[in-house]
A and B are shown apart, each in its own frame.
Chain A
């Protein structure tokens, strides 16, 4: 949603400049409500520790109104901040509940917001500093080995370990390959169980040392089979019975037994 709004904002930039010239707001630069607040504070030359909530809130709400006028989708995050601003203002207006004991309610209602703004400002600055660094592959280059040399070197180094993210991604890709079944089975005759599947995998691993994910499901490429196999593999990982490897980047995912597997233990654990 935020990305869409961002794109729209850029499209409507000239239009908005015409409408709200008095603010000369560059909408495309804002990256969330905190960013907008910081901009408004800077524009009004306010001290970040002593913000005039009334001024800021008015301009902030004008900004949201401008976004609505342009039929832009106002992200919920902007509305949350608007509500926060209004709440702070109303707390400032209300007389303190503990007038007799002023020590209890000494806190400025703006304090929390100021702290968050300052913290955000720090990370924004830090982000800009990091972004100003020379980027590898853009401003800085390394001497690269040619593709075949690199591939050979990687193979000789042995399998790379895969991350959870890659495993899930492989699973997603596999699911995409399987056509969605259009018929409905009222009474599934032979439902797959994860325990059976675990035993299957373990017996395959006893025959061969390594098994590929594709091999495990190639006989029966259905969604149900793939999902059950995937769950079985995750369970096996949890029990530390197998290890997962990837031969190369974007290559097939392989499984090898982590220790001497004892299938009976798996069944008990299941």
Chain B
């Protein structure tokens, strides 16, 4: 199998040389001489090519953009020459992340109510690692900060967008059942400006 269209090869070169994941929009902006539809079909051709190729790296859609990433089975070889500082996440960090990811925008008090335990330390670590970000303030007494996941969260966990998170299992006994479906309707794309954010001077 080989890349047939020149456009697919051009796009491949763009993604290869980019520092970070390249969004479809960005690729379209760069390639003004091509139609959006052409770019999209070339992208899917490229994706198919790399899936069929089965080499040491693959083309993945992550945080809304395209990026080449190494295939997971080879990580033990890669770490022989790349020093990595990334550590596994603790259970409490993962739980907190999951709650924030599925329920954002969410206040610290709401996270703590769900986990039944103080989350200040975990939340601070997640903020420092930039996996979680402050979205603004909630318009309730005390104006607590509200949190959401960041673009880095999607990048680190290799997620295309928030919708590609594993779906929560439906539990019938939940009396307020449409809670998670409602999340789908909210525009939770990381780049979407949440109205509360305009209250903060730092956009």
Contacts and interface: CB of A to CB of B under 8 A. Distances in A.
A31 B117 contact: yes
Interface of A: 1-3, 29, 31-34, 49, 75, 77, 80-81, 114-116, 118-120, 122-131, 133-143, 145, 150, 153, 161-165, 167, 234, 237-238, 240, 244
Nearest to B167: A126
Contacts of B57: 143
Contact of A140 (B89, B102, B158, B202): B158
Interface in B68-126: 68-70, 72, 75, 78, 82, 84-89, 91-92, 94-99, 101-102, 113-118, 121
Interface in B162-203: 165-166, 168-169, 171, 173-175, 200-203
Interface of B: 16, 19, 57, 67-70, 72, 75, 78, 82, 84-89, 91-92, 94-99, 101-102, 113-118, 121, 127, 133-134, 155-159, 165-166, 168-169, 171, 173-175, 200-203
Contacts of A77: 116-118
Given A131-B89, A165-B127, A126 B115 contact: no
B174 A136 contact: no
A135 B156 contact: yes
Nearest to A162: B202
Contacts, number: 153
Contact of A234 (B99, B157, B169, B201): B201
A133 B94 CA distance: 11
B144 to A, nearest CB: 15
B202 A34 contact: no
B158 A123 contact: no
A238 B117 contact: no
B70 A140 contact: yes
A119 B102 CA distance: 12
B67 A130 contact: no
B102 to A, nearest CB: 6
B94 A130 contact: yes
